[in-house]
Amino acid sequence: MPMEKYKYMSNVWKDGIFDNKVVFCTGGAGSICSAQVRAMVHLGANAAIIGRSVEKTEKMARDIETARKGSRVLGLGGVDVRDPEALAKAAERTAKELGSIDFVIAGAAGNFLATIDQLSPNAMKSVIDIDVLGSYNTVKATLPYLVESAKKHKTDGRAPHPHGTGGRIIFVSATLHYSGTALQTHASVAKAGIDAMSVAVAIEQGPKGITSNVIAPGPIRDTEGIARLAKGESETAKAIPSGRYGTVKEIADATIYLFSDAGNYVNGDIIVVDGGHWHTSGVKNGPFQYPDFLLSGEAVTGVKGLKTKKSKL
């Protein structure tokens, strides 16, 4: 049975904007990446999702196909992003069977909780290999197809291209390294590397018409990451200015924006989708608890330098 549309994309997008386009997504069976691909398929694209588990990847591909009648979604399981030859073969098969690769989502990742003294060299290497080298291998495997697509769909922004957009890549990163996150040394280092890689791709490949951007999700409800890395929403959500966890739909909406005509001039950027979460890292602790103190209406007491008179403004 098809998933209800509101669960994976907003109603603002026009059907058919990605007709005859192809999305290639590593980590495509995951909760966030599958929503990104599902939204693209709903709007006209065909897709290939890449994963290590054959059963999980093929099952998700069949599920994503229900987003639009007549769509084609390849579930290419048994592919490890750490294996460049396997990724190259997956990209070749995708282009051969679906006709092109116009959009790429590099979303494969590994994570767990550990202090740096608990973190073994093998564990650190594993996360770097999956996240950073996996993203690099994804770029290398798909770049020739992206260059071809970008050339075919290059736009000057003054008029919509008759055949839509193409030649775009999104790296799925995180906000962990912006202000520092305990128990996440490995992931923080990896995501920082991914952010740097995206900028390099934008600079070097931009003249060919390619755009390269990052989406950095914050806490997203009902995902593997939250299930494994967080204790619960109620306390964590208090530290988020928007007051809640995000949804996979909101990541998918950002994806549609970057891949659509609306995102033509966005290149080498990081789109943070976290409800403002990372900005509050310095105000979660101490006597003035966020956001309770702001909402209470209480006066600030017990500290020097207080402004005692009300502003006339």
Q: Residues with catalytic annotation?
A: 173, 191
Inter-helix orientation angle 54-65/31-42, to 10°? 30
Distance CA 99, CA 186 (A): 37
Sign of the C-alpha dihedral computed for residues 133, 196, 9 and 233 taken in this order = positive
Backbone φ and ψ of 211, nearest 5°: -115, 140
Q: Return the amino acid letter for 84.
A: P
Residue 62 DSSP label: H
Distance CA 307, CA 281 (A): 25
Distance CA 124, CA 172 (A): 19
Backbone φ and ψ of 134, nearest 5°: -60, -40
Give Dmax (Cα) for the chain.
72
Q: Within 10 Å of residue 305's Cβ, how many Cβ atoms?
A: 5
